Amino acid sequence: MSKRIPVSAGNWKMNGTNAEVDALCDGLAGIDQIRGVEVVVAPSFLQLARVSDKLATSGVHVAGQNMHAAASGAFTGEVSPTQLREVAGWVLLGHSERRQHFCESEEALNDKVRSALEHRLTPILCVGEQLHEREAGDTEAVLKRQIALDLDEIYLPDGFVIAYEPVWAIGTGKAASEVEAQDACAYIRDRVSQLFDPAKANTIRILYGGSVKPENAGTFAAQPDIDGALVGGASLDAESFKGITQAIADAKR
Ligand code: PEP
């Protein structure tokens, strides 16, 4: 199996004044000493340029939290991949909050994934089931549909990043068990293997997201099909995010 570089990604969502975000960036000093993990933070669009400047020498990648698929045009309030590319190298796509509150469809996501790759942005494609879907035994069916539609006719680069985020575990303090997370991530890898090929599937990075903290990050990262974490709340605290990143590095060493 090829060596997959693990990822520690922080989604700052719609949080932080400029002063708070500056302090958070200052608090991340030293994170580059944690070897063997790609670190990514996703501030709001308004703070992307500021955070890119602050973290320019830190080795931390900066991500948008969304983007429009079109390179430019009459799409009031949206941000294009061309604009994003000037301040960020990565982009979150299909976060469950975008799917739930902003009606993001699989078809729109498919366009966004294709466009991000065409514009040399590294997407983190988020997938995951809602609570009622898990309770109905539909987790795999949901993941199968999301992966098939979101990646339809995409040329998938090696190392592509998918975040498995069960919606019921996001921001609830109720993380999935490591067995639930591993099973879902293994299933995602198997779907990619079926849709593309086993060699490609072995290269893709699959992150777990949902109430990750320094205390549980190592347990998730120790699972064979989990290659890191996408972190919401705990990434707003620099020490917690560094702790999570260190735990991932230790588990994958
Ligand atoms: C997220 O928003 O992607 C997330 C995983 O949030 P939290 O870590 O707060 O559950």
CATH code at position 64:
3.20.20.70
CA distances from 135 to 59, 94, 132, 146, 173 (A): 41, 22, 5, 18, 18
d(CA 102, CA 80): 17
> Is residue 2, in this structure, part of any structural domain at all?
no
Whether 128 and 96 have beta carbons less than 8 Å apart is answered as yes
Residue 1 confidence (pLDDT): 44
If you measure from the C-alpha of residue 69 to the centroid of ligand 1, how many angstroms do you get, rounded to a whole number?
Answer: 24
Catalytic residue among 38, 97, 129, 165: 165
101-118 exposure pattern, b = at least 16 Cβ within 10 A, e = fewer: eeebebebbbebbbbbbe
Whether 122 and 89 have beta carbons less than 8 Å apart is answered as yes
Residue 129 confidence (pLDDT): 98
Residue 218 confidence (pLDDT): 98
If you measure from the C-alpha of residue 231 to the centroid of ligand 1, how many angstroms do you get, rounded to a whole number?
Answer: 5
For 185-196, what is each residue's pLDDT tens digit? 999 999 999 999
d(CA 108, CA 10): 24
Nearest to 63 by CA among 82, 44, 76: 44
d(CA 147, CA 245): 27
DSSP 71-99: SSSS-TT---HHHHHTT-SEEEE--HHHH
Ligand 1 pocket residues where CB is under 6 Å: 11, 165, 170-171, 209-212, 230-234
d(CA 197, CA 15): 39
Active site residue 101: no
If you measure from the C-alpha of residue 230 to the centroid of ligand 1, how many angstroms do you get, rounded to a whole number?
Answer: 7
For 47-100, what is each residue's pLDDT tens digit? 999 999 999 999 999 999 999 999 999 999 999 999 999 999 999 999 999 999
Nearest to 245 by CA among 225, 220, 45: 220
Domain that holds residue 116: 7-252
Which are the contacts of 3, defined by CB distance < 8 A and separation ≥ 6? none
Measured by CA distance, the residue closest to atom 6 of ligand 1 is 232
Asked whether the predicted pLDDT for residue 2 surpasses 70, the reply is no
Catalytic residue among 38, 61, 68, 95: 95
pLDDT tier, 243 (very low <50, low <70, confident <90, very high otherwise): very high
Residue 246 confidence (pLDDT): 98
In the chain, the percentage of residues whose pLDDT exceeds 70 is 99
> Is residue 246, in this structure, part of any structural domain at all?
yes
CA distances from 105 to 72, 98, 127, 161 (A): 20, 9, 12, 19
Residue 146 confidence (pLDDT): 98
If you measure from the C-alpha of residue 211 to the centroid of ligand 1, how many angstroms do you get, rounded to a whole number?
Answer: 6
Active site residue 95: yes
Measured by CA distance, the residue closest to atom 7 of ligand 1 is 232
> Is residue 208, in this structure, part of any structural domain at all?
yes
pLDDT tier, 22 (very low <50, low <70, confident <90, very high otherwise): very high
For 86-145, what is each residue's pLDDT tens digit? 999 999 999 999 999 999 999 999 999 999 999 999 999 999 999 999 999 999 999 999
If you measure from the C-alpha of residue 13 to the centroid of ligand 1, how many angstroms do you get, rounded to a whole number?
Answer: 9
pTM higher than 0.95:
yes
> Is residue 1, in this structure, part of any structural domain at all?
no
d(CA 207, CA 32): 20
Residue 11 bridge partners (DSSP): 42
Mutation choice for ligand 1 from 41, 230, 244, CB with most ligand atoms inside 8 A: 230
The per-residue pLDDT of the chain, averaged, comes to 97
The atom of ligand 1 lying closest to the CA of 233 is 9
Measured by CA distance, the residue closest to atom 2 of ligand 1 is 232
Which are the contacts of 90, defined by CB distance < 8 A and separation ≥ 6? 9, 40, 42, 61, 62, 63, 64, 121, 122, 123, 124
Give the count of domains, the chain: 1
Asked whether the predicted pLDDT for residue 160 surpasses 90, the reply is yes
Whether 146 and 191 have beta carbons less than 8 Å apart is answered as no
- Per-residue pLDDT, averaged over 144-170, amounts to 98
CA distances from 98 to 6, 109, 183, 184 (A): 25, 10, 25, 21
Residue 192 confidence (pLDDT): 98
